[in-house]
Structure 1
């Protein structure tokens, strides 16, 4: 990967994170943004943009952490199919944890806690389908693993036990914008030029 390609990936991901933060801010604070003064609108939009930019940095660190982890796991397991099975196990384990660790007996049904992991898994499956179409079938499990597991780990500060929808949305939208973008562009920036 050249410095130029890395710079392009960094700035485009940062831009998408900012856009995701702005959209989250508008969705969460329509009344405050549009019902107040012009300075209130600009300050609220600026804060949402800053949150999105910060989350995009977290997403970029997550990508490089995953790439390092994947490289080490491939060297430890020596067998790509064994590593694939471990990733599938970790996807299932993460799904279980996203439900179990947040259960609050007073709130009621376990089904209510399955909404976020199911939606995240659906997005991971759609992204993996697109990645397979762009590259090859071997990208299926790693893409689901990255979008589901790594995004869930990055989303931990927004997943609170008191189910604050605002904090969940403010983090997940920029995270998904960035992570989906990064995983769909990764093969382009790491491809070697044929001479």
Structure 2
């Protein structure tokens, strides 16, 4: 392995990192990074050369951008992460967003309402603009009462998915999908599908007959 630092011409620092073990295999070729007082930052690989003046480097809004650029040339920058929710709430939001986007042209429109049954009273769960639909009010309250019971009282935020004026499913902040009197764990479905968010979204849509 070659890894050495040389000072040349009294003004240029050369870092030779050829065959460094942390380098991406595709980048394991003759690689040098030159920090030059007069010529800025230069990266030299087999058949490739790039340079960034110190004026350009100092103009970067993020000082770490210079490091990121060098890491990119060295092949040390990780591959972009796929769409991968990191929390239960993020999983719910991502699934809802993908589901609604895929059905934007449906004849009967889909939409979501956010409700908070623990900080709002039962009478406040139903949006005021739907108060003229007493049957719908009853269905909404019944849905969230059963959801809260299944969550042992820990349900603090939830989202109702409607098709037109009909509530089809409820999703809670613990990544639970409540539909047809059952609760499905979105996270389990997500893991079972190899953390493929698109496959997960397609699968959970079948839980409420869409």
TM-score, normalised on structure 1? 0.30
TM-score, normalised on structure 2? 0.28
Larger Rg over CA atoms: 2
Q: RCO greater where, 1 or 2, for CA within 8 Å and sep 6 or more?
A: 1
Whose helix fraction is larger, Structure 1's or Structure 2's? Answer: 1
